[in-house]
Amino acid sequence: MSDERRVQEVLARYVRATDRRDGKSQGTLFTDDATVQVFTKTGHDAYEPLSEPIIGSAGVEYAVDNFMAPHPEGGSSHHTTSDHIIEVDGDRAHMNAQFVVFEVRATARPAGGWPEGAFGAQGTVRPIESGYYDTDLRRIDGEWKIIRHRVLMDMPIAIPGA
Protein backbone atom coordinates (compact mmCIF):
# COMPACT_ATOMS: atom_id res chain seq x y z
CA MET A 1 0.00 0.00 0.00
CA SER A 2 1.34 3.47 -0.86
CA ASP A 3 2.19 6.04 1.80
CA GLU A 4 -0.54 8.30 0.44
CA ARG A 5 -3.12 5.54 0.91
CA ARG A 6 -1.85 4.79 4.45
CA VAL A 7 -2.18 8.48 5.33
CA GLN A 8 -5.71 8.58 3.92
CA GLU A 9 -6.58 5.49 5.97
CA VAL A 10 -5.65 7.34 9.18
CA LEU A 11 -8.39 9.86 8.36
CA ALA A 12 -10.83 7.03 7.58
CA ARG A 13 -10.16 5.53 11.03
CA TYR A 14 -10.48 8.98 12.62
CA VAL A 15 -13.97 9.64 11.21
CA ARG A 16 -15.18 6.14 12.05
CA ALA A 17 -14.02 6.56 15.65
CA THR A 18 -15.79 9.92 15.78
CA ASP A 19 -19.03 8.40 14.50
CA ARG A 20 -18.80 5.63 17.13
CA ARG A 21 -17.82 8.12 19.87
CA ASP A 22 -14.80 5.88 20.50
CA GLY A 23 -12.19 8.03 22.22
CA LYS A 24 -9.74 5.20 22.81
CA SER A 25 -9.57 4.25 19.11
CA GLN A 26 -9.36 7.88 18.03
CA GLY A 27 -6.66 8.67 20.57
CA THR A 28 -4.38 5.95 19.18
CA LEU A 29 -4.18 7.86 15.89
CA PHE A 30 -2.36 10.80 17.54
CA THR A 31 1.09 11.33 19.03
CA ASP A 32 1.39 12.15 22.73
CA ASP A 33 2.21 15.78 21.87
CA ALA A 34 -0.22 16.26 18.96
CA THR A 35 -2.42 19.35 18.80
CA VAL A 36 -6.04 19.39 17.69
CA GLN A 37 -7.96 22.59 17.18
CA VAL A 38 -11.40 23.39 15.80
CA PHE A 39 -11.92 26.64 13.89
CA THR A 40 -15.16 28.27 12.75
CA LYS A 41 -15.48 30.26 9.56
CA THR A 42 -15.77 34.01 10.03
CA GLY A 43 -15.55 35.14 6.42
CA HIS A 44 -14.15 34.17 3.05
CA ASP A 45 -11.22 31.89 3.97
CA ALA A 46 -11.09 33.46 7.46
CA TYR A 47 -11.36 31.32 10.60
CA GLU A 48 -11.15 31.80 14.34
CA PRO A 49 -10.36 29.16 16.97
CA LEU A 50 -13.37 27.74 18.78
CA SER A 51 -11.34 26.90 21.90
CA GLU A 52 -7.85 26.14 23.13
CA PRO A 53 -6.09 23.24 21.39
CA ILE A 54 -6.51 19.70 22.64
CA ILE A 55 -3.11 18.21 23.41
CA GLY A 56 -1.99 14.65 22.79
CA SER A 57 -3.55 11.26 22.32
CA ALA A 58 -4.86 11.22 25.90
CA GLY A 59 -6.46 14.64 25.40
CA VAL A 60 -8.17 13.45 22.21
CA GLU A 61 -9.48 10.33 23.95
CA TYR A 62 -10.79 12.42 26.86
CA ALA A 63 -12.44 14.98 24.57
CA VAL A 64 -14.26 12.35 22.51
CA ASP A 65 -15.42 10.44 25.60
CA ASN A 66 -16.48 13.51 27.60
CA PHE A 67 -17.36 16.39 25.27
CA MET A 68 -19.11 14.79 22.32
CA ALA A 69 -22.83 14.40 22.77
CA PRO A 70 -23.92 10.76 22.72
CA HIS A 71 -26.18 9.70 19.91
CA PRO A 72 -29.87 9.49 20.83
CA GLU A 73 -31.78 6.19 20.64
CA GLY A 74 -31.90 5.20 16.98
CA GLY A 75 -29.40 7.90 16.09
CA SER A 76 -25.90 7.93 14.71
CA SER A 77 -23.64 10.07 12.58
CA HIS A 78 -21.85 9.33 9.36
CA HIS A 79 -18.79 11.27 8.23
CA THR A 80 -17.74 11.28 4.62
CA THR A 81 -14.47 12.70 3.35
CA SER A 82 -13.48 13.55 -0.19
CA ASP A 83 -10.96 15.32 -2.41
CA HIS A 84 -7.96 14.26 -0.33
CA ILE A 85 -4.82 16.22 -1.17
CA ILE A 86 -1.87 14.33 0.29
CA GLU A 87 1.80 15.27 0.15
CA VAL A 88 4.39 12.85 1.55
CA ASP A 89 7.98 13.91 2.20
CA GLY A 90 9.94 11.06 3.79
CA ASP A 91 8.48 10.44 7.25
CA ARG A 92 6.27 13.53 7.17
CA ALA A 93 2.96 14.06 5.42
CA HIS A 94 0.30 16.72 5.01
CA MET A 95 -3.31 15.97 4.13
CA ASN A 96 -6.23 18.27 3.39
CA ALA A 97 -9.68 16.78 2.82
CA GLN A 98 -13.26 17.99 2.66
CA PHE A 99 -15.83 16.47 5.01
CA VAL A 100 -19.59 16.32 5.45
CA VAL A 101 -21.26 14.91 8.57
CA PHE A 102 -24.69 13.38 8.25
CA GLU A 103 -27.13 12.95 11.12
CA VAL A 104 -28.88 9.57 10.90
CA ARG A 105 -32.16 8.96 12.73
CA ALA A 106 -33.73 5.53 12.40
CA THR A 107 -37.48 5.25 12.84
CA ALA A 108 -38.36 2.67 15.49
CA ARG A 109 -40.22 -0.34 14.13
CA PRO A 110 -43.81 -0.15 15.40
CA ALA A 111 -44.85 -2.90 17.84
CA GLY A 112 -47.39 -4.18 15.31
CA GLY A 113 -44.91 -4.09 12.42
CA TRP A 114 -44.53 -1.64 9.57
CA PRO A 115 -47.79 -0.27 8.20
CA GLU A 116 -48.98 -1.45 4.82
CA GLY A 117 -47.19 0.38 2.07
CA ALA A 118 -44.03 1.04 4.13
CA PHE A 119 -40.98 0.35 1.98
CA GLY A 120 -37.26 0.92 2.13
CA ALA A 121 -35.16 2.62 4.77
CA GLN A 122 -37.23 4.10 7.58
CA GLY A 123 -35.82 7.27 9.07
CA THR A 124 -33.95 10.37 8.00
CA VAL A 125 -30.44 11.30 6.93
CA ARG A 126 -29.49 14.97 6.76
CA PRO A 127 -26.24 16.89 6.47
CA ILE A 128 -25.38 18.82 9.65
CA GLU A 129 -21.71 19.85 9.34
CA SER A 130 -19.12 20.44 6.67
CA GLY A 131 -15.63 21.78 6.33
CA TYR A 132 -12.03 20.73 5.85
CA TYR A 133 -9.57 18.61 7.78
CA ASP A 134 -6.04 20.03 7.57
CA THR A 135 -3.70 17.45 9.05
CA ASP A 136 0.03 16.90 9.52
CA LEU A 137 1.30 13.39 10.17
CA ARG A 138 4.61 11.75 11.01
CA ARG A 139 5.68 8.16 10.47
CA ILE A 140 6.80 6.69 13.80
CA ASP A 141 8.08 3.10 13.93
CA GLY A 142 6.47 2.48 10.54
CA GLU A 143 3.03 3.82 11.56
CA TRP A 144 1.52 7.15 10.48
CA LYS A 145 0.36 9.28 13.45
CA ILE A 146 -1.34 12.67 13.51
CA ILE A 147 0.84 15.44 14.97
CA ARG A 148 -1.42 18.42 14.13
CA HIS A 149 -5.08 18.32 13.19
CA ARG A 150 -7.11 21.39 12.33
CA VAL A 151 -10.86 21.12 11.80
CA LEU A 152 -12.00 24.06 9.68
CA MET A 153 -15.79 24.27 10.05
CA ASP A 154 -17.85 25.94 7.32
CA MET A 155 -20.35 27.33 9.85
CA PRO A 156 -20.23 28.83 13.33
CA ILE A 157 -20.78 26.53 16.30
CA ALA A 158 -22.97 27.48 19.27
CA ILE A 159 -21.79 26.20 22.64
CA PRO A 160 -24.21 26.47 25.58
CA GLY A 161 -22.92 28.89 28.20
CA ALA A 162 -20.20 30.30 25.96
Instruction: Using alpha carbons, select from 99, 70, 97, 71 the residue that is nearest to residue 85.
Output: 97
Q: Which residue has the higher pLDDT, 117 or 149?
A: 149
By mean pLDDT, which of 14-23, 29-38, 116-125 is the weakest? Answer: 116-125
Supply angle C-alpha 136, 16, 59, rounded to 5: 55
Tally of CB atoms within 10 A around 110: 10
Query: CA-to-CA distance for 139 and 129, rounded, in angstroms?
Result: 30
The CATH classification of domain 3-108+122-153, taken from the options 3.10.450.50, 1.50.40.10, 3.40.50.2300, 3.40.640.10: 3.10.450.50
Predicted confidence band of residue 46 (pLDDT cuts 50, 70, 90): confident
Query: CA-to-CA distance for 140 and 162, rounded, in angstroms?
Result: 38
Question: Where in the chain are the domains?
Answer: 3-108+122-153
Mean pLDDT taken over the chain: 94
Predicted confidence band of residue 51 (pLDDT cuts 50, 70, 90): confident
pTM, entire model: 0.91
pLDDT reading at 26 higher than 80: yes
pLDDT of residue 59: 95
Secondary structure (3-state) at 90: coil
Predicted confidence band of residue 67 (pLDDT cuts 50, 70, 90): confident
- Mean pLDDT score, 44-62: 91
Query: CA-to-CA distance for 53 and 68, rounded, in angstroms?
Result: 16
The H-or-E segment that residue 60 falls in is helix 56-67
Do the Cβ atoms of 133 and 150 come closer than 8 Å?
Answer: yes
- Mean pLDDT score, 120-132: 94
Predicted confidence band of residue 104 (pLDDT cuts 50, 70, 90): very high
pLDDT of residue 107: 92
pLDDT of residue 161: 65
